[in-house]
Structure 1
């Protein structure tokens, strides 16, 4: 599985490259800025792009904008974004295009190697991998979500992380039938078709929540060069 990595921190980029190579991935290219990412995606046609939200020169949103542009130039390109913080505006921007695998993880998830590599593989194969913290903040806004019960919100959050019904049932210690019922209720209350299946339904929910309008967090000051965003 070929990966293009966009990360300006030399230390983190080296660590990620070693980690990915040890886990059976092939790092086709490692770049440090947005133009480099676009060129690497064009030249190497990777299975997935792993992108830092903040890249030079301003360390604000170059990475996410480059990821969006890469998906525009190469429809369906799987992208997993890494961020130091939950950036609702950036997450919403990425979720606007629901074609192909998509993921948004906080950088501290990388230390959980099995979870991180599973998320990367899931995104590369067209799935979804959303950090629970990102989901929690997205679910905190929007009137339609207020209609969900506490259990339905739990189910929706686990769906958004990319889990199937069987996994959700195990996590919540309920039956598969109970999860199926909760999923149906979620889609009914959010006005979404229950005919959607797999990760497509997850992206539909996230896109719907994005359209309801999330409240962007105030922009943080640019990070000094060489520091994590």
Structure 2
């Protein structure tokens, strides 16, 4: 029997890893069925980078406006905690669509984050949701502390907590970089976000005046997340966010 060389062993191992990844991505991207549902517990590591929204292939008219806003808490010169105004980052991102006739039309980040943030929060138990939204502004928990508190609050599957925290951390990282680009002279001690959604004016009220259409529109619904420790990416990432903010707000 021929002896395996180190090169052959490496090629075989790399091929198996690539095949496993390809299989996982394929199962995760299939339309919902018994096979994709059975594989779901083993493909959660793909979120949030490799998930696919199947509405791409069955577009529907926009039924509601969705926005993600960021707010930071910082320590003022007198030692007290103060909060920034809410920054509507979705509005900044939409400048690409509203005011740029030429250029990229890629989906904006907050549009991709909105639904998963709500869905992952919805999979938590009631006690875990309470833990998630009642963290203190003056002393937000570390990510490991928050994970322990969520797991201790209920017997839900650990992967529900892990994926929820993955989206939370990605959103807080974006929020921190946005807030630091707006207020570079402030040191933030806590950051949070708000999910705002408002249904469009009902079809039957479409012919009214602007005031009548606005009056007929359902009220806006907000869900404000808990305070989190600031999360900062690389220097290059921070520069990109700051540059984007300057060009589009």
Task: Check whether TM > 0.5.
Answer: no
TM-score by length of 1: 0.27
Rg comparison, structure with higher value: 2
- Greater length-normalized contact order (CA 8 Å, ≥ 6 residues apart): 2
TM-score by length of 2: 0.25
